[in-house]
């Protein structure tokens, strides 16, 4: 059973450039940007370009490309924020906590002395998000250089 894809979901609109984001990475198959309601500082999202609601709707090639991009971006987030750990998560279906119906991977830094903020709860200040994005972009450039 495959969920029907809504081409006007918020990530589809970001992918088409109709809505803004603080982009930190892009390749042929995926983009990554800062989560607007981060659960911790540095929370980023990797969004495959393929039109799929969830992991089950993603092609094998798309899944491989998405995890490759997730690894690259997670390295950048780790380098930028030096967290104590990093959670990678991906939700399928509302019952699992999915709120945006376009497949994506969360990269959530964990800091030993901080608990997570709520999922998709509180919007971050745009200037802070912009600075966080710049930190990841610089870290990715360092890692690639």
* Residues belonging to the active site: 104
What part of residues 11-50 is at the interface with ligand 5GP (CB under 6 A)? 21, 33, 35-37, 45
Q: Distance between CA atoms of 8 and 137, rounded to whole angstroms? A: 28
What part of residues 40-99 is at the interface with ligand 5GP (CB under 6 A)? 45, 91, 97-99
Instruction: Name the minimum Å distance from CB 2 to ligand 5GP.
Output: 17
Nearer to ligand 5GP by Cβ, of 6 and 142: the residue is: 6
DSSP 40: S
Nearer to ligand 5GP by Cβ, of 40 and 98: the residue is: 98
Q: Distance between CA atoms of 84 and 61, rounded to whole angstroms? A: 31
């Amino acid at each position: 059973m495959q969920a029907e894809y809504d081409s006007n979901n918020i990530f589809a609109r970001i992918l088409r450039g109709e809505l803004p984001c603080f982009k930190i990475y892009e390749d042929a198959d995926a983009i990554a940007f800062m989560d607007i309601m981060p659960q911790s500082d540095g929370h980023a999202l990797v969004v495959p370009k393929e039109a799929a609601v969830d992991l089950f709707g993603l092609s094998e090639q798309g899944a491989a490309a998405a995890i490759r991009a997730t690894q690259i971006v997670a390295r950048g987030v780790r380098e930028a924020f030096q967290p104590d750990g990093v959670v990678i998560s991906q939700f399928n279906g509302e019952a699992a906590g999915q709120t945006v119906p376009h497949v994506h991977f969360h990269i959530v830094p964990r800091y030993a002395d901080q608990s997570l903020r709520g999922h998709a709860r509180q919007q971050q200040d745009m200037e802070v998000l912009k600075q966080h994005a710049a930190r990841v972009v610089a870290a990715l450039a360092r890692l690639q250089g």
